Amino acid sequence: MQHEKRFAACAAHSMPGARLKAVAGVLAVAGLLTMPVQAQTNGTEGDAAQAPVATLPQVTVQGIRLDTSIQQLNESVDGGALGSKTQLETPFSTTVVTGEDLERRQVTKLGDVFTLDAAVSDNSAQDGAWANYLTVRGLQLDWQNGYRIDGKPFLSYVTVLPYEQLERVELLKGASGFMYGFGSPGGIINYVTKRPTDEPVREVSLGYHSDSIFRESADIGGRAGHNDWFGYRLNVTHEEGEGFNKSKLNRNAVSLALDARITEKLTWDMQALYQHRKTKDPEPTIYTGLYAATDLPSPVRNNEKLVGDGTFVDNEFRYFATGLEYQLAPTWKVRTDFSHATTRTRRAEEVIFLRNQAGDYDDYRSDYGEFYQFNSWQAQVEGRFQTGAVGHDLVAGIAYQDQHTDLAANGIYKQIGTGNIWSQNNNAFYTSGTMDTGLGMYRANTITQKSVYASDTLKFSPEWSLLAGLRYTNYEQRTFTPAGAQSSVYKKNGVLTPTLALMYNFTPRTMAYVSYVESLEPGTIVGSTYANAGALLDPLKSRQYEIGVKTEQDGWSATAAAFRIEKAAQYTNASNELVQDGESLFQGIELGASTTLGDWFLGGTAMALDTEYKKGVANIGKRVAGAPRFIAAAQVGYNVPQVPGLQLYVDAKYTSSTPLRPNNEISVDSYTLVNIGANYDTRIHGYDTTFRLAVNNVFNKKYWMYQYSDYIKAGDPTTVSLSASMRF
């Protein structure tokens, strides 16, 4: 598909000086009101018993939390096709961002979720087609196959999930073919929704985001019935207002989670999520494919000057999942899950075609729509047993998923005028019709995946263990014309994706590993313009090798990993044939550490990355577009002893220059962003209350941000977020 590269829009938010002063005044008043009230140092709730959920394997935790705890690598997690293992037992690198951290930093877009992970570079915008563009280890994630909710697939294009309704966000770095089937070797993101807890949840929140966006939300949950057999969790959010660039946001989201302990051995759970999110006048993306100079113009801020009248993004997302789990024996269980997800979008977006260093551009507008649907089913058995002196952790299952894509036959994409990035955009283009009318929607393609998988972790001693797994996949893709006629059929059976890992535990808290895993990306039917037209190409198979060590000690933790990813690629050879023996190489080192020193919390991550177009026709030996050479992130936090419950923090992230094109003729300059914030936990009239302040890009840095090959966006200016939550 090309439309994901052509159209983009986003809305981000900032606050001018006058409103900054207003916010400071509000904080001062809040402080005066709460000072006479008894404060407490811990505003978090106790650990809540969670219903079983499908999550990604959590291992190399790179995020730093501003509380008195260190991430526990011994915590048990559900690793999908790998089964339930502790983080120390899982030989892959993963970042976990908790819901607590999402709330503390007032996250509004995907790139900000992983601010503290140096392996991740931000390509996202808050709205529009670029909402879920992210680069991990120099590879962009696959918006068709690279995103999950509770381990189940959905298509993330355009959709920004309600972060305030998530328990955490997980990132599995690198190839994931064995765990989840098709997907980019960059990694997989899994959003974990909030579930019923044993302790009652009663929380309301009010939020503000510059310039004048206000949010109200409620989180209610608990258990009922005999022996608390029934659990529920309801989250509701409304957000509305105007951003700093005059973009207008209206968002309504609701999620419901239920579970039932039917018998001592049988449990049931259900999750549902609905969100309607509409943005008017979002920012444009900037295309540089026609730009001839070797240096970009001086950066401009993402502001109202870039926005022309008439643009909008109207996105409606639905998700439903349900599952049953049965405990066969003390060490054996079986689980089955079904999920259904739909994404419907109507968008009239703006793309600026930058022409020269003076900032002149051609203004292109689109009127487009798409509808995506995912259905999935999975059954899995998991158990432990012994054969002589060797222990086994066995996981086996079958999985099915189908995807349907509807596109607009009557979409519009045309130039409507010209402009300059330093002058007000006065071009206007208005569309007619609704989300469901005027576009001539038709079924463009269907994709089906059927898989069988199994893995076994063999434990030879308390120190040594070996993981071996294999997935067998049948794949089918059909495409159709706007008139409804089938235009192509692609089938490939028996595609194998293995994984293999050797692990050594120096101590129960320190583990080293070496692992190998593959990823799969769909092959294609060669088009009519090639000499081998009609040929059926195999799925693209990439390979990842990783060696790492991680330790979790009292008061500190550290991780280190070295990786090599050989990404397969297709290209046109000298005989005008589309072939698949191309390759790009990604290799690097990741480091992470965090510690507690009295009232201080310190942590940081770093990644050094070397990339190269290794095989193919063009750009051999060049760095891969979108892959920075070095990224570093750090955070310092302080629990103020004079004001119990008050936490202050500052974090910074440096991203080195990034090649904008495969030929490396032009690059996006390096930049550093600094954020500050504060949390204050107290009690008001006997109720636990938390005030939060987050200021992003505190020095108002101007910068260009890489989004895609030959696509950039203007960096967001200083933004301010303020919230208050009360628990009843």
* Closest of 619, 559, 554 to residue 589, by C-alpha: 559
Using the predicted structure, report yes or no on whether residue 17 has a pLDDT greater than 60. no
d(CA 190, CA 613): 29
Per-residue pLDDT reduced to its tens digit, 644-681: 999 999 999 999 999 999 999 999 999 999 999 999 99
Which candidate, 470, 560, 468, places its Cα nearest to that of 515?
468
Q: Give the integer Cα–Cα distance in Å for 452 and 494.
A: 10
Reply yes or no on whether the pLDDT at 53 is more than 60: no
pLDDT at 675: 97
Q: How confident is the model at residue 586 (pLDDT cuts 50, 70, 90)?
A: very high
Q: CB–CB of 307/8 below 8 Å?
A: no
The SS3 assignment for 394 reads: strand
How far does Cα 405 stand from its chain's mean position? Answer: 21
State the Cα–Cα distance between residues 620 and 613, nearest whole angstrom.
Answer: 5
Q: Looking at residue 73, what is its pLDDT?
A: 60
Q: Quickly count: other Cβ atoms within 10 Å of residue 667's Cβ.
A: 20
pLDDT at site 377: 97
* Alpha-carbon distances, residue 415 vs 242, 352, 361, 365 (angstroms): 27, 10, 11, 6
Can you tell me the mean pLDDT for 110-129?
90
Alpha-carbon dihedral 612, 614, 618, 619, rounded to 10 degrees:
20
Degrees, nearest 5: CA angle 304-424-243:
5
Q: Which residue in 142, 82, 181 sits closest to 448, CA to CA?
A: 181
Closest CA to 114 of 87, 133, 142: 133
Question: Tens digits of per-residue pLDDT, 525-561?
Answer: 787 788 988 777 888 889 999 999 999 888 898 999 9
Kindly tell me if the per-residue pLDDT of 508 is higher than 80. Answer: yes
> How would residue 520 be classed by pLDDT, with cut points 50, 70 and 90?
confident
With vertex at residue 491, the alpha carbon angle to CA 488 and CA 493, rounded to the nearest 5 degrees, is: 180
Residue 34 has pLDDT above 50, yes or no: no
What is the DSSP code string of 604-633?
EEEEEEEEEEEESSS-TTSPPTT--SEEEE
Q: Cα(183)–Cα(172) distance, rounded to whole angstroms?
A: 12
CA dist 30 and 26 (Å) reads 6
pLDDT at 120: 95
- Residue-wise pLDDT for 198-252, tens only, equals 999 999 999 999 889 999 999 999 999 999 999 999 999 999 999 888 889 999 9
pLDDT at 266 over 60: yes
pLDDT score for 163: 95
Torsions phi, psi of 5, nearest 5? Answer: -90, -20
Q: What is the mean pLDDT of residues 77-98?
A: 75
Average pLDDT of the residues of the chain: 87
Structure tokens at 149: 């909710």
Given a cut of 70, whether residue 579 has pLDDT beyond it is yes
User: What's the whole-number mean pLDDT along residues 314-333?
Assistant: 96
CA-to-CA dists, residue 272 to 49, 341, 400, 416, 417, angstroms: 20, 10, 20, 41, 44
Q: Which residue has the tokens 């239920």?
A: 258
Of 69-78, 553-562, 567-576, the range with the highest mean pLDDT is: 553-562
d(CA 321, CA 338): 6
Query: Alpha carbon of 161 to those of 107, 131, 165, 317, 693: distances in Å?
Result: 11, 10, 9, 9, 22
How much is the pLDDT for 75? Answer: 57
Pick the most confident of 67-71, 121-125, 259-263.
259-263
Residue 23's pLDDT is what?
36
